[in-house]
Homo-oligomer: A and B are copies of this chain.
Amino acid sequence: MAEKPAATAAPHSPPAASTAQEGQAKVKAGVVKMDDIARMAGVSKSTVSRALSGSPLVNEETRVRIQALVESHSYRVDTRAQGLRKGQTRTIAVVIPLLHEHDQPISDPFFLELLGHIADAVADHGYDLLLSKIGPGRASGMTDLVDTGRVDGLIAIGQSTAHLGLEQLAARNLPLVVWGAQLADQHYVTVGSDNRAGAERAVSHLIAQGRRRIVFLGQRSVPEMRLRHDGYVAALEAAGITPDPALDVPTRFASAAALTAMRSLLCGGASFDAVFACSDVIAISAIRALQDQGLTVPEDVAVVGYDDIQMAAFYNPALTTVRQDTATGGRLLVDLLFAQIAGRSARSVMLPTELVVRASSGTVSGTTPPAPR
């Protein structure tokens, strides 16, 4: 089979003709290269390159001829080669922590919502998005991503326990933005909600409903959760309530873990009239555990979650929760990363949160239609 069409003989032949002839033969992708197009157009590779990158140095007629050839042969420039030459990748990595030890899948809907917005924003910049689930000892894996020339920058979702690793990356000056809490001594850029204020408002709301014995459900080893705990304590103290350590229940971010934690609290005979959960997923599991014990929400126990995942409004009872704005969060994450890639400096951003009051905290009747997002 003739590999290279002898199209050089008729450089100006109508593209349509060659389409019909060659379309069939091209089974495998990438078969036609810039050189081929150049030869067919009767120009040099350089001219094709220029034409394709919209250089003004190219004759209009030539450009049109090249364009036609490109279309008809559905030629596409190889980004890999282009990137190698230009020293860029046009792709950024999003790193999601393994939620825990085992190769448990990413499971919190909140992450997916955020990821979706990040994906949109990255695409708007014309970049690709590499998704990477990295386990403990994340830092080295993340460094690799850029050292091996696979990505131009990194977005980490959740700092979880990797604070030190992230500091190392920042020290190396790699473009990096992380979704999470803004810590005092930190040198990397974060975007996140005002965890302390959000939690404080949620708990104050509970107190305003007449609740006094409020359970904290969350994992304080994660920075964001620690701040939420701070807010919880602050709200309590502002109301003259002394935090009871017995109501501080450590829980990981999985439904099952939350269920277990709640059950053991119930079995322990603790008395409480409200729960502040560090995520909606945790809140939902907690409610389930409560109901299984014959308790009603919000009558016996009022519950507030965090995140406002889509399902929160549809749960029964509809969940009162602290909304984190994933749309602007995602976009901000990406914008700040591109600022760094462009060599500009970026500052951490703390997003305001909004307390969305629904039925689970005892104020709204359960039959009110949930607010559409």
**Chain A residues within CB distance 8 Å of chain B:** 27-30, 74, 76-81, 83-84, 89, 91, 94, 103, 105-107, 109, 111-113, 115-117, 119-120, 123, 128-133, 143-144, 146-150, 172-174, 255-256, 259, 281, 284-285, 287-288, 291-292, 294, 310-311, 313-316, 318, 326-327, 366-370, 372-373
Contact = CB atoms under 8 A, between A and B. Distances in A.
Given A105-B117, A133-B120, A284 B255 contact: no
A116 B105 contact: yes
B292 A311 contact: no
Contacts of A27: 172-173
B74 A147 contact: yes
B316 A130 contact: no
A107 B103 contact: no
Given A103-B120, A131-B129, A314-B288, A147 B80 contact: no
A315 to B, nearest CB: 7
Contacts of A103: 120
Contacts of A106: 112-113, 115-116, 119
Q: Choose among A107, A117, A174 the residue with the greatest number of B CB atoms under 10 Å from its CB.
A: A107
Contacts of A281: 310-311
A304 to B, nearest CB: 17
Given A107-B113, A112-B112, A314-B259, A369 B119 contact: no
A292 B120 contact: no
A117 to B, nearest CB: 6
Given A119-B132, A255-B313, 19 more contacts: A27-B172, A29-B147, A80-B89, A80-B149, A81-B149, A105-B119, A106-B113, A107-B116, A111-B112, A112-B115, A116-B133, A119-B131, A123-B132, A131-B131, A255-B310, A256-B372, A281-B310, A315-B315, A315-B316
Contact of A105 (B120, B285, B313): B120
A148 B79 contact: yes
A369 B81 CA distance: 56
B116 A79 contact: no
Contacts of A83: 80
A344 to B, nearest CB: 16
A79 B311 contact: no
